[in-house]
Structure 1
Amino acid sequence: MDTSAKPKLTRSMTLHVKSANVFKGDEFYGLLDSGPAGGKSVQMIADNEAHSARRKLLDKAIPPREQVFRDIDELSQRLVSITEKEANAHGGVVDVATATSWYSFDVISTIAFGQSFDMLRTHDWRWLPLCLQEMSAFLYAAGYAGGHALLLKFFHWLLRTNWPSRLRFTTAVQAQKYADLAADRVLDRGNRMKSQGDVTDSSRKDIFGYLMQAKVHNSADLTSESSLLIAAGSDAVRFSIAATVFYLLQNPEAKAKAVAEVRSLNLGSNDLSEAKVASLKYLRACIDEAMRLSPPKAGSIPRETAAGGIVIDGWAVPEGMSVATSTYTLHRDPDIYKQPYEYRPERWLERPHDPRLYAAFTPFIKGPRACPGKAVAYVAMQTALFHMLREFDIDGAGEVSGEVASSEHAAASRGRRSDYPFNDWIIGYTKGPFVRVTRVLKST
């Protein structure tokens, strides 16, 4: 086997294995979830043992798979309904990114708090996606600027004042608004628990109900977990569904294969299961290939070298340095992915498979700090796309569909019209694809 790609894999794996002599320092992460309350989410715990204990608790808090699938399936059907409704209201055209953002926030709010934001049916919370986007833009810039301790302290102070609104510092105002939302959701969940009494034996489970009963977190840490889960629990789902639709529109043969596979199941009204959705191997390959080309977290995941430094590919990196691997770059390494700029789902189904494809594939990060909701995210993406491809014929809506996501982002593709253009502010944000949908199957 060609080992020319091994150094690149070594860099990524060196940084994200449990034994790596690195930690999440304040240079980039100091503002991400601490906020005015000063709590820490699981992503911000530097000590590996403490992180492991908190992570195990979070893993246990995720509701049973059967309940999660039932909720996701119901929300996926609502996504189909709102997609058709939005298309009918806008000349037959719908922005997939907008509809899937409502869906993704409904999914994570149901799983995390036991109560949906209900964005797919009401307007009350539809301000949240833009709020999160603006907050991410602020934290992205402040995170890099905050490498200096005094700047970090300044940004912490700023978010505790009314100066952002007085200065019309929009992104900082949205960061404050998002922090308030995260705290409010925790408070609301606690109030519902008090009104319901002991819900330990309830037939329905949710993450924060479990965490509150465990009584391990203080209120500040719960708020930080809330901030993390709302953002991280929605980003990959909304972004990757839209990206998959985009690439399928760009590649008619792949689209035809995915549609044929989905419609071959010929299901009745109540016959869908997680296992049947998971059996759609080509659909899964389409999603993975979309995440390879357009990962929801495209940039680097910085780590700071601890005392004693670290050796990466024979290079000694001293203590206190910021080191990272770019997911976007790694996913397009020609030594690992042949024809790296082409959307080719078949690469994930070829046998014998090259293990480097999976070793370098990091949309959910690798190692002990990988995304705890990866399995849930895949269920949400696959189930939503199953219903959309099963019930609609989806076609491009002119120049703003399969070629570019929107006119304002056209330049971002840098001439590669087959790329899904987006902005990377900690997580990816975009518009489109704009599509026309025609129902081919009546709703059940």
Structure 2
Amino acid sequence: MATTVEHDIRRQRRNAVAGFFSTASIRQLEPIIQATMSRLLERLEETAQAGSPPVPIHHIFKACTSDVINKYAFGECFAFMERADFGKSYFNATDMFFGLNHIMIFFPWFATLMQKTPGWFVKAIMPNVAELVDKKSWWIDRVREIRNSPNPERIKSTIFEGILNSNLPAADKTDTRLASEPQLVIFASEGTTAFTLTAAMYEILANPAVLERLKAELCTAVPDEDSIPSFSQVDGLPFLNAVIQEVIRLHPGVMDRQMRVPASQPVIYQDKNRSGREYVVPAGFLVSMSPLCLHLNPDVYEDPYVFRPQRWIDNPQLARAFLGFSRGTRSCVGMNSARREMAIVLGTLFRRYDLYHGKPGRTLELYDTERARDVDANFDMIIPVPAKGSKGVRIRVRN
């Protein structure tokens, strides 16, 4: 779906899964997120009680987002939240896969070769991606099991209902193709959302005034600090949603340049700052831009590098220059589910925990974390990657 160039074919493929992410459908996601959050809180409590070293929070968030999207898409998950290392070996394998991004872009035949190479051979020459190869086999096995299930409700509870019942040609309904779209959804939902959640933890804890205002809003909307908020409790919270919007602006989960090609006629842009100046993009001419090119533009965002959620409340028109989930017909199909997942995770954590001030209580504290080194994008591997040698955002949890 994501790499389909021809507009009409891509629209058909997108429509087959779009219903799975409609406002009505993602209500089924709420209990999955809440159950996963409950386990996440337990793991944080265990960390605090054990007096263990600071938590690399990105490992926990990756486990959380992966379990959520797999459970939603397949009805089953890898239960990374139960593993002592939160599935670190699997995520290291996916990071290595993304690290091959530039090779695959400039040498497309390499991507085709990787897809067609037998799994046992890939594992032999690249043992670091072994768990990813195993998970790919798991996805295909789930496709076959769901397709052949005598229980019609089994299909309805997964992402495959829309695809199998669509008007897509038979070639788009093979086991391999059926596994490809959910695999894309998994990749697009676990690492990207986890990266933005990790950045949010840094920005909120590094800006006490933001945390104080966020907690005040959450205390009003969620009276019980031990509860896990519902969609209805977090959907309409203006400051929480402004925090999420500002985090995505500064730390978008996808760094890859988003490409557009005027198909049949040129596109003409008038320069508003210089009268009479215009730019013409000829038909068939490819234009691409990373979200950060726009999100850090000082002509659009005042003090663009500063984390300032209030800007979205003061000037809602800024949304016109927001590219965090792409735009138009190529926009992210799962952006509503991603926003809600981030809202519940952040709402739960910051309703329960405060910033550490040397006093007892449930608190969180950044540990040896620098934004430029551990949060900001230093490399574009489709997903943003921090500086070499970074240990990520680390947090000390106290009860």
| Category of TM-score, reference length = shorter chain | 0.7 to 0.9
Q: Which residue of 2 aligns with 1:364?
A: 325
1:435 aligns with 2:371: no
* Deviation, structure 1 residue 306: 4.8
- 1:218 to 2:180 alignment: no
Letter in 2 for 1:335: D
Question: Are the aligned partners of 2:228 and 2:348 in contact in 1 as well (CA < 8 Å)?
Answer: no
The AA in structure 2 aligned to 1:346 is Q
Picking from 112, 133, 136, the partner of 2:95 is 133
Letter in 2 for 1:438: R
CA distance in 2, matches of 1:53, 1:160: 25
The residue aligned with 1:252 is 208
- Shift of the 99–64 alpha-carbon distance from structure 1 to 2, 3 Å rule, reads same
Write the distance in 1 (CA, Å) between the matches of 2:114 and 2:11.
Answer: 32
Deviations 1:292-319 (A, max 9, x none): 1111123422345657665556444456
The residue aligned with 1:234 is: 190
Report if the CA contact (8 A) 1:404-1:420 is conserved: yes
Q: Is 1:54 paired with 2:6? A: no
Cα offset, 1:383, TM superposition: 0.4
Partner of 1:425: 381
Q: Please report how far the alpha carbon of residue 46 of structure 1 lies from its aligned counterpart in structure 2 after TM superposition.
A: 1.8
Aligned with 1:437: secondary structure?
A: strand
Three-state SS of the structure 1 residue aligned to 2:76 is coil
CA change 1:271–1:245 in 2 (3 A) is: closer
Paired residue secondary structure (1:324):
strand
Total equivalences in the alignment: 371
Per the alignment, residue 290 of structure 1 pairs with 247
Match of 2:275 in 1: none
Cα 1:179/1:67, change in 2 over 3 Å: same
Contact 1:293 1:331 (C-alpha < 8 Å) held by counterparts: yes
* CA drift at 1:195: 4.4
Query: After superposition, what is the alpha-carbon deviation per residue over 1:30-72, rounded to whole angstroms, capped at 9, x for unaligned?
Result: xxxxxxxxxxxx1122222222222222112347233211211
- Deviation, structure 1 residue 334: 1.2
Relative contact order, higher structure (CA 8 A, sep 6+): 1
Q: Is the 8 A contact 2:37 2:64 kept in 1?
A: yes
2:4 corresponds to which of 45, 58, 77: 45
1:428 shift after superposition: 2.1
Which residue number in structure 2 is paired with residue 340 of structure 1?
304
Q: Find 1:66's aligned residue among 6, 27, 46.
A: 27
State, as a whole percentage, how many aligned pairs show the same letter: 23
Structure 1 residues 211 and 295, CA, compared in 2 at 3 Å: closer, same or farther? same
1:107-118 paired onto structure 2 within 5 Å: 107-118=68-79
Deviation at 1:420, TM superposition (A): 3.6
Q: Which residue of 1 aligns with 2:361?
A: none
Q: If the length of structure 1 is used for normalisation, what is the TM-score?
A: 0.74
**2:160 match:** 208
Q: Which amino acid aligns with 1:250?
A: A
The one-letter code sitting in structure 1 at the alignment partner of 2:173 is: N
Q: Does residue 185 in structure 1 map to residue 146 in structure 2?
A: no
SS at match of 2:68: helix
**Which amino acid is 1:137 matched to?**
G
Structure 1 residue 78: Cα displacement: 1.6
The 1-side partners of 2:137 and 2:261 are apart by 29
Q: Which amino acid aligns with 2:209?
A: E
Q: Matched residues in 2 for 1:189 and 1:81: separation?
A: 32
Distance 1:247 1:268, change over 3 A: closer
Name the aligned partner's letter for residue 231 of structure 1: F
Q: Which of the residues 100, 106, 114 maps onto 2:61?
A: 100
Q: Specify which of 351, 365, 368 is matched with residue 400 of structure 1.
A: 368
Distance in 2 (alpha carbons) for counterparts of 1:143 and 1:218: 25
Three-state SS of the structure 1 residue aligned to 2:395 is strand
Matches within 5 A, 1:314-329: 314-318=278-282, 321-329=285-293
Distance of aligned partners of 1:85 and 1:208 in 2 relative to their CA distance in 1, 3 Å threshold: farther
The residue identity in structure 2 corresponding to 1:208 is: F
Partner of 1:266: 223
Q: Normalising by structure 2, what TM-score?
A: 0.82
Q: Which residue of 2 aligns with 1:11?
A: none
1:153 CA displacement = 2.5
1:75 shift after superposition: 1.3
Q: Distance in 2 between matches of 1:386 and 1:244?
A: 11
Structure 1 SS opposite 2:81: coil
Separation in structure 1 between the aligned mates of residue 133 and residue 164 of structure 2, nearest angstrom: 19
Q: Confirm or deny: 8 A CA contact 2:229 2:344 kept in the other structure.
A: no
Residue matched to 1:84: 45
Structure 1, gaps ≥5 residues long:
1-41, 147-151, 411-418, 440-444
Question: Unaligned stretches of 5+ in structure 2?
Answer: 271-277, 357-363
